[in-house]
Amino acid sequence: MQPRSAARELAALKADTAVCLAGRIVARTADGFVLQDDTGCAQCLSSAQASVGAFARVVGVWDGVQLKAASVELLSAGNDRFMRGDSDFSQLIGKRLSNLRARHDVLRTIRSFLDAQGLLEVDTPAIVPCPGLDVHLDAIEVLGMGAPRWLHTSPEYQMKRLLSTGLPGVYQLGKAFRRGERGKLHEPEFTMLEWYRTFACAQDMMTDTEQLVSQIARVLTGGTRLPGIQQPVDVSAPWDRISVAEAFQRYAGVDVETVVHDDDRFYRLLVEKVEPELGRGRATFLTDYPARMASLARLSAQDPKCAERFEAYVDGVELCNGFSELTDPAEQRRRLQADQAQRGKLGRSVYPIDERFMAALEDGLPPSGGNALGVDRLVMLALGAKQIDEVVAFTTARV
Amino acid sequence: MYDFSQIKKNLKIKLDGVPFNVVDFQFVKPGKGNAFTRTRLRNMYTGAVIERTFKQHEKLEPADMDERQMQFLFKEGDDFVFMDTSSFEQLHLSKDQLGENQWYLIDNTNVDVLFFNDKPIGVTPPTFVLMKVIRTEPGFKGDTSGGAMKPATMESGLEVNVPLFINEGETLKIDTRTGEYAERVNVKK
């Protein structure tokens, strides 16, 4: 097969160069047609019967303006349905396709960064008997497994079971599933990076995060800034750090102690007043969560009112959530039971406690740090995309 | 009553007796927190836009509207003039009251005018409207970017991104829910 040229590069060629192009015929002109490949368009001079929509290979001579076709080989049937605004062609060609290339670069950079740190990449099952008990997350049920099963909302339990074998660290780059979450920053099925290290704590995970994201900025932009959703953000280490208490005081003018027992008020202030201010111009960690919002994080040895939990914000977008992991099985069981009770009270499905995960904690988990990072959001921030739809091949609604 | 999951663009709700139109909405949810929908609402009396955040279990009161089909006649300054084709009665709606729907009005076409407590306060455009392109760069000349869309100005003044093969004078179908190009329409000459 003859080597193929890229439409975009034709303009740089000298006149009378022999070229071969392959792509789709997107329009007919008076004396030929327009061929579009994944890099751009080229005018082709040809008397061949070219049907719009067909894929074709054109061999000929570039005259400096257009391609004088010597031969046109039609490679597929064509119709003009591809031109409609809702066709895959219209949806994916152009910007969206270059976003997918950038997404590939982000995934590759994540892997090379964590591989270099000696972490083991794993992929644990997506279908689980006990999805996470986070009070505000709903799992998607899976039928046909002979027993109650769900898609995980995070692979946390299985990854910690692997960690309890004494591995220095594991990471997973895969899908997580959360029922009912759909918006500019949410898809019910999204890509999440989770990584865990033994003999480590939240501080180490923050250092990892700073280094990983600044490496992504280097690879994608050659600099230390990401374009962000609204404005560029400096992601070079070290990032700013602000505690939940300071952030509520500064941006909402509220003593966090007065709202911490009321989820509605706490989270309303968080989304309306606090989050929009975080990570503006410079990436920021929100740290020292109130103990009540510890989730699966260990309480601080210095201040038991706070948990060693953090989230990273870049341009107002929550990028990740990390912990010094809770390793005390008795405390873990108390929290899971409390979550179950709370879910029952709110009328949400009450999932069972994962006893295999509990057994791993009882058998002993070294002090560990863990972090879960939304990869689609990272790609959005790295590209300046305003919606998650722009950085995935197909949204859940278009599958 | 509407619930949280029914919030969408152009939903009409009532807050303290005042009708509001949902201009834009966004699902927001901290990873481990409650879900909210942050909305931008247009006050249908004044055109002023406010922000309101609704939480997951909040109910929204519908603003019941009457609709009457009328003909859009023409634009007069910042006002848009409509006529009831049976009674020939005319009424005006301002640019602010119409919001982005002003871009979907074509002279002498029919449109549903909304009445709240017998007062006209807006229009409901059809889901798709047909409009001519009055200005866009010619198709493929010099295109080497690989980008599949280019800007175009429609006869109503609406700016949309269209595929490269669209030319001036062609008629396009525009989706009024998104303000985006849907497809090219072959109008029989």
Residues on chain B touching A41 (C-beta within 8 angstroms): 140, 143-144, 164
How do residues A352-396 score in pLDDT, each as one tens digit? 999 999 999 999 999 999 999 999 999 999 999 999 999 999 999
Quick check: A386 contacting B, CB < 8 Å? no
Chain B residues near residue A31 by CB distance under 8 angstroms: none
Q: Taking CB atoms and an 8 Å limit, are B180 and A85 in contact across chains?
A: yes
Q: What is the reported pLDDT for A360?
A: 97
The nearest alpha carbon in chain B to A181 belongs to B27
Separation in Å, CA of A81 to nearest CA in chain B: 10
Tell whether B28 lies on the interface with A, counting CB pairs under 8 A. Answer: yes
Q: Write out B111-167 in H/E/C secondary structure.
A: EEEEEECCEEEEEECCCEEEEEEEEECCCCCCCCCCCCEEEEEECCCCEEEEECCCC
Q: Does B77 touch chain A (CB under 8 A)?
A: no
**CB distance A85–B183 less than 8 Å?**
yes
Q: Do A270 and B55 touch (CB under 8 A)?
A: no
Residues 73-92 of A with CB under 8 A from B: 83-86, 90
The residue count for chain A: 399
Per-residue confidence of chain B (189 residues) as pLDDT tens digits? 888 888 888 899 999 999 999 988 999 999 889 899 999 999 988 888 999 999 887 889 999 999 999 999 999 999 999 999 889 999 999 998 898 899 999 888 899 999 998 889 999 888 899 999 999 987 655 444 445 678 999 999 999 998 887 889 999 999 988 888 888 887 654
Complex ipTM more than 0.85, yes or no: no
**pLDDT by residue (tens digit) across A322-337?**
999 999 999 999 999 9
Our measurement of the distance from residue A358's CA atom to the centroid of its chain's CA atoms, rounded to an integer in Å, reads 29
Provide the pLDDT for residue B149.
78
A303, A311 Cβ separation under 8 angstroms: no
CA dihedral A23, A25, A27, A32 (to 10 degrees): 100
Angle, helix A375-383 to helix A202-221, in steps of 10 degrees: 40
Nearest residue, CB atoms, A27 vs list B139, B145, B183: B139
For residue A268, give the nearest of B55, B163, B164 by CB distance. B55
- Which pLDDT value is given to residue B148? 66
Confirm or reject contact between B168 and chain A (CB < 8 A): no
How far off is chain B from A26, nearest CA to CA, in Å?
Answer: 8
How far apart, in whole angstroms, are the C-alpha atoms of residue A269 and residue A267? 5
Cβ-Cβ contacts under 8 Å, A136 against chain B = 29, 32-35
Percentage of chain A modeled with pLDDT above 90: 83
Would you call B148 an interface residue with chain A, using a CB distance cutoff of 8 Å? Answer: yes
**Residue A206 to residue A172: CA distance in whole angstroms:** 17
Give me B177's structure tokens.
Answer: 């829910």
- Angle separating helix axes A95-116 and A202-221, nearest 10 degrees: 140
CA distances from A383 to A102, A181, A239, A397, B51 (A): 8, 22, 20, 22, 27
What CA–CA distance (Å, rounded) separates B12 from A287? Answer: 40
Which of A99, A136, A179, A270 to mutate: most B Cβ within 10 Å? A136
What is the least distance, in Å, from the CA of A85 to any CA of chain B? Answer: 5
What confidence tens digit (pLDDT) does each residue in A245-296 have?
Answer: 999 999 999 999 999 999 889 999 999 999 999 999 999 999 999 999 999 9
Task: Give A197-240 pLDDT, tens digit per residue.
Answer: 999 999 999 999 999 999 999 999 999 999 999 999 999 999 99
Please write the tens of the pLDDT for every residue from A103-129: 999 999 999 999 999 999 999 999 999
Q: Please give the full DSSP string across A45-75, using - where no structure is assigned.
A: E--S---TT-EEEEEEEE-SSSEEEEEEEE-
Instruction: Tell me: pLDDT of A2 over 70.
Output: no
